[in-house]
Amino acid sequence: MEESFLHFIWKFQYFDNRNLKSDSGKSITIINPGHSNSDAGPDFEDSKIKIDDIVWNGNIEIHVNAKDWYRHGHDKNEAYDSVILHAVWNNDASVIRKDETIIPTLELKGLIDESLFRNYKRLFQPGHEILCEPFVSDRNQILILNMCEKTLAQRLEKKAGRILRDVALLYGDWEEITWRLVCKNFGFKTNTFAFSELAKSIPFKILKKEAHQFTTIEALLFGQAGFLEKDIDDEYFEKLKREYLFMQKKYQLERRVDEHQWKFLRLRPANFPTIRLSQLAGMISQHKNLFSFFTGYSSAGELSRKLEGKQSSYWRKHYKFGRSSKTVIGGLGSSSISNILINTVAPLIFAYSLHKGEEYLKEKSLKLLESVRAESNSITKKWKDLGIEFKSAFDSQALIELYNEYCLRKRCLNCMIGVDIVKSC
């Protein structure tokens, strides 16, 4: 027997709860099993039970063996004085609180249908990275859809929570947080850290003030990124360096990143950070009110088209300062634009919806994800191989969260799909 299974049984009350008796022979009626506690302390909180004629409100602690109460030191911990019932598989000891009062114990052995535990063991058999792999294709698609809606909401709420925390640290400056989010996104994993540090080194109000001059924005970005420190025999490099040195003094800028921190290895030239910096400069020059640009669009197609802007003419023909390219380097590709919509725009709008309490903004973020093509990566491939259908980023984001937060962590008993398998396979 495993404790996680007993948690599952208690949470959903999958046992014969008629005519229950405590270890002292008193009748037990479960009015409310409570809710799971993921933090330190008793396993279930805010429970309500009736023992004989007295109604008790408090917490429930669950163990395989009653002696685990002492092994875990609960008898010496005041946090467990609120426990009103000890639910165990095997009642091999009486338990007491720190004040030495006795806690009623309910033994679950003999109350649980053996098929449930058999199904549980089948589900948790090793051999599959996604434990439900042998059973998931037989599940009702509506069940999978419901679980995906849950995981997508969790993913967006988690991202929105981080955004709202950072907005608070920036005293409610949504323009600045938008700049930091989009700049970080331009790192596209490989250079996320460097782009994130770059964003923190230049307040967006400075870029907004200089947005009418593309060259000035490029000078600020390349200078703060550390690319203008050397001496290179290149006319455009020298022009940017002169402009940057002037702007650096004007705004008293300090760098947070050096050239050596930028990664070029195993990247195609079109994905080099130099190209991305110029593309970012182009976006700022075209859309100096970034927050309203990302939140006020009328259609996802319109927003995508406006993100197609190209880098400066120099960076269409060069991939590093002084190094020309044999082919013309294009602007942001469709996959990069989709990445920005998924990882910056949708979470930003969702966070703002929570801040404003506006349901229509939440719906807007979800519709945006529905309009973007599903991601193709190692995680979505796993689901595709299992026969799970997904068409949009709404689906792929949900499945990524499902895999990371449930499958990898073996939280099958917190997943609708896993629960359904244990109940019916």
DSSP 24-49: TS-EEEEEE--EE--SSS-SEEEEEE
Nearest to 398 by CA among 159, 158, 155, 157: 155
In a shared domain, residues 196 and 321:
yes
**How many whole angstroms separate alpha carbon 192 and alpha carbon 197?**
9
| Close Cβ partners of 55 (under 8 Å, ≥ 6 residues apart) | 31, 48, 49
What distance in Å separates the CA atoms of residue 425 and residue 320, rounded to the nearest whole number?
59
Instruction: Establish if 350 belongs to a structural domain.
Output: no
Nearest Cα residue to 41 out of 71, 1, 82: 82
Residue 127 has a pLDDT of: 86
Domain that holds residue 411: 136-152+374-424
In a domain? residue 121: no
Q: How many domains is the chain partitioned into structurally?
A: 3
Residue 50 maps to a domain: yes
211 with 300, same domain: the answer is yes
The predicted pLDDT at position 425 comes to 55
My answer on whether 200 and 302 are in the same domain is yes
What per-residue confidence (pLDDT) applies to 38? 85
Task: Indicate whether 282 and 195 sit together in one domain.
Answer: yes
Low-confidence stretches of the chain (pLDDT < 50) are none
Whether 238 and 301 map to the same domain: the answer is yes
